Amino acid sequence: MFVHAPGRMGVSQSIASTLMADSSLNVALFGSRFMGKAHSNAWLQAGHFFDLPTRPVLHVIAARDAAHLQSFAERWGWANWTIDWRTAIADPAVDLVDIGTPNHLHREQALAAMEAGLAVACEKPLAGTLDDAREMAHTARRTGVPTFVWFNYRRAPALALARQIVAEGRLGRIYHVRAAYLQGWGGPDTPLSWRFRQSQAGSGALGDLMAHIIDMARFVTGDEIAEVVGAIEERFIKQRPQPDDPTRKGRSSVDDAVLFLARFRGGAVASFESTRLATGIKNSNRLEVHGERGAVRFNFERMNELDFFDGTEPPRLQGWQTIQAMHEEHPYAAHWWPDGHWLGYEHTFANQAADIVVAIGGGNPFMPIPDFADALTTQRVMEAAVLSARHRAAVKLSEIPV
Ligand SMILES: NC(=O)c1ccc[n+]([C@@H]2O[C@H](COP(=O)([O-])OP(=O)(O)OC[C@H]3O[C@@H](n4cnc5c(N)ncnc54)[C@H](O)[C@@H]3O)[C@@H](O)[C@H]2O)c1
Q: What is the full DSSP assignment across 219-244?
A: HHH---EEEEEEEEEE----EEE-SS
DSSP string across 278-318: -TT-S-EEEEEEEESSEEEEEEGGGTTEEEEEETTS-GGG-
Q: Assess if residue 356 is contained within a domain.
A: no
| Contact yes or no for 332/366 (Cβ under 8 A) | yes
Same domain, 332 and 288: yes
Q: Which atom of ligand 1 is nearest to the CA of 109?
A: 32
- The residue whose CB lies within 8 Å of the most ligand 1 atoms, and thus the one to mutate among 37, 39, 64, 193, is 64
Residue 355 lies in a domain: no
Domain of residue 116, residue span = 15-152
Same domain, 148 and 161: no
Count other Cβ atoms within 10 Å, centred on residue 49: 18
CA of 125 to the centre of ligand 1 (A): 11
* pLDDT tens-place string over residues 319-331: 999 999 999 999 9
Final residue in a domain of this structure, among 97, 125, 152: 152
- Pair (31, 73) in one structural domain: yes
Residue 127 — left, alpha, or beta (φ > 0 → left; ψ -120 to 50 → alpha)?
beta
Q: What element of type H or E holds 25?
A: strand 24-30
Tell me the C-alpha to C-alpha distance, in Å, between residue 98 and each of 118, 123, 299, 305, 349.
Answer: 10, 8, 28, 30, 12
Q: How far apart are CA 33 and CA 375, in angstroms?
A: 23
Task: Indicate if 137 and 261 belong to the same structural domain.
Answer: no
Do 239 and 105 lie in a common domain? Answer: no
Same domain for 96 and 50, yes or no, is yes
| Residue 127 CA, ligand 1 centroid: distance in Å | 12
Q: In CATH, what number is assigned to the domain containing residue 291?
A: 3.30.360.10
Q: What is the pTM of this model?
A: 0.95
For atom 38 of ligand 1, the residue with the nearest CA is 31
> Domain ends where: 152, 187, 222?
152
Sign of CA dihedral 349, 286, 206, 249: negative
Tell me the pLDDT of the chain (402 aa) as tens digits. Answer: 443 232 333 233 455 555 545 689 999 999 999 999 999 999 999 999 999 999 999 999 999 999 999 999 999 999 999 999 999 999 999 999 999 999 999 999 999 999 999 999 999 999 999 999 999 999 999 999 999 999 999 999 999 999 999 999 999 999 999 999 999 999 999 999 999 999 999 999 999 999 999 999 999 999 999 999 999 999 999 999 999 999 999 999 999 999 999 999 999 999 999 999 999 999 999 999 999 999 999 999 999 999 999 999 999 999 999 999 999 999 999 999 999 999 999 999 999 999 999 999 999 999 999 999 999 999 999 999 999 999 999 999 999 999
Determine the pLDDT at residue 353: 98
Answer yes or no: do 95 and 186 share one domain: no
Q: How many domains does the chain have?
A: 2
In angstroms, the CA 248 to CA 290 distance is 48
Phi then psi dihedrals of residue 237, to 5 deg = -110, 115
- Same domain, residue pair 270 and 293: yes
Query: Ligand 1: which of 2, 29, 35, 76 to mutate, most ligand atoms within 8 Å of CB?
Result: 35
- Indicate whether 165 and 135 sit together in one domain: no
State the amino acid at position 231 in one-letter form. A
Q: How far is the CA of 23 from the centre of ligand 1 (A)?
A: 29
The CATH number of the domain holding residue 59 is 3.40.50.720
In a domain, 179, yes or no: yes
Residues 252 and 132 in one domain: no
Q: Which atom of ligand 1 is nearest to the CA of 103?
A: 41
Three-class DSSP category at 81? strand
CA of residue 252 to ligand 1 center, whole Å: 18
Q: Answer whether residue 208 is part of any domain.
A: yes
> If you take atom 6 of ligand 1, which residue's CA is the nearest one?
35
At 23 the pLDDT is 87
Q: Are residues 87 and 191 in the same domain?
A: no
Residue 63 Cα to ligand 1 middle (Å): 9
Mutate to test the pocket of ligand 1, among 33, 101, 150 (most ligand atoms within 8 A of CB): 101
Q: Is residue 366 part of a domain?
A: no
Last residue of a domain, one of 152, 184, 205: 152
Does a structural domain hold residue 205? yes
Question: Which atom of ligand 1 sits closest to the CA of residue 151?
Answer: 1
Rounded Cα gap, residues 109 and 385, in angstroms: 27
Cα(360)–Cα(95) distance, rounded to whole angstroms? 10
- Closest-CA residue, ligand 1 atom 15, reads 34
Domain-located, residue 7: no
pLDDT value at position 11?
31
Residue 263 near residue 225, CB atoms below 8 Å: yes
275 in a structural domain = yes
Pair 292, 169 in one domain: yes
User: In 3D, which of 97, 113, 99, 129 has the Cα closest to residue 200?
Assistant: 129
Which residues sit with their C-beta closer than 6 Å to ligand 1?
A: 30-36, 62-65, 85, 100-103, 105, 123-124, 150, 152, 208
